[in-house]
Amino acid sequence: EIAKLPKETLALWEKYGADESDDKESFQKSFIRHVTTTLARSIYNIDNFSAYQATAHSVRDRLIKRWNETQQTHTEVDSKRVYYLSLEFLLGRSLDNALLNLGLKDNYGGGIKELGFTMEDVLEQEVDAALGNGGLGRLAACYMDSLATMDYPAWGYGLRYTYGIFQQRLKDGYQIEFPDYWLNFDNPWELPRLDVVVDVQFCGSVNRYTDEEGHERYAWEGGDTLQAIAYDVPIPGYGTKNCINIRLWSSKPKRQFDLTRFNEGQYEQAVYEQMQAENITAVLYPNDNHMVGKELRLKQQYFWVAASLFDIVRRFKKSEKPWSNFPLQVAIQLNDTHPTLAIVELQRILVDLEGIGWDEAWAIVTQTFAFTNHTILPEAMERWPVPMIQYLLPRHMQIIFDINLFFLQKVEKAIPNNRDLLAKLSIIEESTPQFVRMAHLAIVGSHRVNGVAALHSELIKQTIFKDFIQFYGESKFENKTNGITPRRWLHQANPKLSELITETLGSKNWLKNLDLLKGLKSHVNNKDFRKRWVAAKLSNKVRLADYIQKATGVTVNSNALFDVQVKRIHEYKRQFMNILGVIHRYNTLKKMTSEERACVVHRVVIFGGKAAPGYYIAKLVIKLINSVAEVVNNDNSIEDSLKVVFIPDYNVSVAEIIIPASDISQHISTAGTEASGTSNMKFVLNGGLILGTVDGANIEICEEIGDDNIFMFGNLAHQVDDLRHAHRYRSVPVDPSLQAVINDIESGQFGDSRIFAPLINTLTHGKDYYLISDDFQSYLDTQKLVDESYKDQEGWTTKSIMCSAHMGKFSSDRAIQEYADQIWEIKPVPVMTKKHI
């Protein structure tokens, strides 16, 4: 109640309100203040890590100011907001990004130097926020950057895992996992909101009763109650005051002490329950494109969804608008099926708690939600056993059955007498036990469903969601091709190239309008520009070579062709095919004379990526890569013409070093399996070429940059089924080059071949599900083409420039604009600068 405060009080607030300026001296003052007060240190005992902390706190102060102004503006304007529900936000480091987005980098860089540190050393101290597995989690982070940059009123909702994705180390060439206890030191990038607490209920029972008006109602009672505590992560936009919020929930027991138990001497039991409650947000599940049906994961999903919806509904109710306005004020995007229970939860809130009739409530729900599908792999489809949901969320299970009943009644009415269709569309899979198909629930409960690249969006209509088209028609299903933020993935990760682009185009506007990159085309023949383009790439390669030396002990030559495949290790992504190709190359080199070898392009083949801890075959691929590297790197007879490295613990920060240094990167999934891929976009934006299959976003990248500038190979998606069928009649691979490589492995060239037998087995006896044999010759041929092209360094440079110049489409700003206009129907809300009251 500001209005009721005395004038003098208001004047004080105005006078002393936080005035954090952005100049060098203000930074230095705040740095020293944080060293001495926040950290309780002095000039005598401050190391790089404390310098990082003090810098981070200084930036945090400025972020909070913008964050406050943004939230106040949004409350005041009260226009429609979008809520992005994602179980993963793979943010990486924050300091450099915040400095660049806030425009503080130069002043702070100069300021910190005078204080006796270098910005580079300070930035290196930060640990990644690794609350995600791979592409899906990083996409959420890029989208938040774009939402902030484009002034959209948006919130992210996720979980504050105590342990992010595991750290990967190598022992004897095998992956071993270590816990990622990232909150070991204080985390300056979150604002604990210990006052924002939401009760979340589990188990209990459902009781029917009749209300005063004689309506039949249901009450969910009893069971356990946990608490969700909010931690807010400010996300600053680039070149704007807008600073949006990701709210991450952490679980806590409802009572600190169960006093009765305590008095009864059941101290251990009381503490145990407390631990159980904290368990829920303890760890991120480390699976990428693979569902593991653990009860704890389902609990995570509901805990997160319940807390988030309570928060969203509470915010809406403050405005005192009628419920029918809810979809005009609120858009909720479901990042994959993980938050699908939100659909059920909102229906429950409206019907059970707000007393709204079922149909009216359901109309509100379906107009509010939209759903993004990120994969067609069958093993990734979420299905939960009905008994498990019944036990944890008894009222939700009833509501799901009702949603299904009313949905199937509509289908029956529209397409009568088609029991087969009903079974196929049903949200319930009629197995023993029954399962809930989360994708079906997400489709039925949303007004829009989208895939993440053109091919993928077509394929979902033809395969996994085919039967829904019969009922809904095509218009509910659409495409939103993924994008990446050019701020982090070019400006921040590749400062030399960013500077060259800015100088060449005459302004930094391209960072907010990536289509402007096409202005580079008219400079493609400019000698000085080309020279600097090549120099930037070389210096990035030197930086990566240093990193490789430190991380693996292997020395690589920065003048060699850097050939990169970094991504989660998965059979469908075919790192196996890559290393089989490397073996082929190695044995070809060995057969050459010294003179012949003098003519070949030297290569450094770089791998990186984590395998899910339970994914045995993927882990064997890592072992094979390391076994091959061991032999190749120590074979002097091939004279440095080939090196193989596996960079451990691939994460966002490591990606920022690798991506700008790549000459060619491999995106070689079996056609039709990679929904989009997003690292492909990052490589090309940085002037790296792609060796890829006709899959995911590779296809659209090819359309934009032209097929002269990309190396595509392999069978097409529509051929995959027939090829798989044909495998059934053969016992060994059909491709002779592949068979030769298998023979090399089996001869023991890379150590005890028995280790690799299970891996080789995936190729033989009618399997080879991912079509390595079918694509192998085409892969080798295209690799040859890469070598030939690289020999023409001038031609290569032209390709490299043309690649970057045509990447405008793949900015996440474009993607977010499409979501905002076509799905969410939200408008930008520029931040009004406020006084401090």
> Pick from 675, 555, 715, 626: which is nearest to 172 by CA?
626
| Cα distance between residue 573 and residue 135, in whole Å | 13
* Share of the chain residues as helix, strand and coil, in percent rounded to the nearest 5: 55, 15, 30
Residue 155 Cα distances to 71, 250, 311, 738, angstroms: 10, 17, 11, 50
Q: Which two tokens stand for residue 292?
A: 């593991």
Q: Return the number of the residue (252 or 573) whose C-beta is nearest ligand GL7.
A: 573
- Nearest residue to 687 via CA among 560, 557, 509, 501: 501
In whole angstroms, the minimum distance from the beta carbon of 567 to ligand GL7 comes to: 9
Residue 15 appears among annotated catalytic residues = no
Nearer to ligand GL7, 137 or 327 (CB): 137
Question: At its nearest, how many Å lie between ligand GL7 and the CB of residue 678?
Answer: 5
Could you give the C-alpha distances from 4 to 69, 260, 289, 343, 836, in angstroms and in order? 22, 44, 55, 41, 17
208 tagged catalytic: no
Closer to ligand GL7 by Cβ: residue 25 or 379: 379
Write down the catalytic residue from 281, 366, 481, 678.
678
Catalytic residue among 299, 374, 603, 727: 374
Query: Shortest distance, CB of residue 298 to ligand GL7, whole angstroms?
Result: 17
374 noted as active-site residue: yes
Q: How far apart are CA 292 and CA 295, in angstroms?
A: 9
Closest approach of ligand GL7 to the CB of residue 581, in Å: 22
Q: Which residues bind ligand GL7 (CB under 6 A)?
A: 133-136, 139, 288-289, 374-375, 380, 452, 482, 674-678, 696
Task: Give the three-state DSSP class for 130.
Answer: strand
Tokens of 36: 């001495």
Q: Using CB positions, name the residue nearest to ligand GL7.
A: 135
Task: State the Cα–Cα distance between residues 741 and 628, nearest whole angstrom.
Answer: 12
- Which of 80, 487, 512, 568 is labelled catalytic? 568
Supply the minimum distance, in Å, between the C-beta of residue 33 and ligand GL7.
Answer: 42
Pick the catalytic residue from 60, 537, 584, 682. 682
Residues β-bridged to residue 227: 199, 252
CB 495 within 8 Å of CB 690: no
- Least distance (Å) between residue 674 CB and ligand GL7: 5
CB-wise, 234 or 483, nearer to ligand GL7?
Answer: 483
CA distances from 789 to 23, 173, 455, 523, 795 (A): 49, 33, 28, 21, 7
Backbone angles phi, psi at 419, to 5 degrees: -65, -30
Greatest alpha-carbon span in the chain: 95
CB of 697 to ligand GL7, least distance (A): 7
Strands 603-608, 561-566: pairing kind:
parallel
Catalytic residue among 74, 80, 297, 567: 567
- On the CB side of 4, how many CA atoms lie within 13 Å of its CA? 1
Q: Which is nearer to ligand GL7, 679 or 783 (CB)?
A: 679
Within 8 A by CB and 6+ apart from 585, the residues are 603, 642, 783
> Whose CA is closest to 202, among 296, 86, 133, 65?
296
Least distance between ligand GL7 and beta carbon 66 (Å): 28
Do residues 84 and 157 make contact, with C-beta atoms less than 8 angstroms apart?
Answer: yes
**Please, which residue, 372 or 627, has the CB nearer to ligand GL7?**
372
3-state class (DSSP) for residue 296:
helix
* DSSP states along 17-37: S-----SHHHHHHHHHHIIII
Distance in Å, CB of 490 to ligand GL7, minimum:
18
What radius of gyration, in Å, describes the C-alpha atoms of the chain?
28
Please indicate whether residue 678 is annotated as part of the active site.
Answer: yes
Which of the following is catalytic: 80, 299, 395, 573?
573
Smaller CB separation from ligand GL7, 152 or 285 = 285
- Nearest partner of 66 among 596, 837, 767, 834, judged by Cα: 834
Q: How far is CA 807 from the centre of its chain?
A: 20
CB of 667 to ligand GL7, least distance (A): 10
Q: How far apart are CA 287 and CA 301, in angstroms?
A: 15
Count CB-CB contacts under 10 A for residue 471.
16
Residues tagged active-site: 374, 567-568, 573, 678, 682
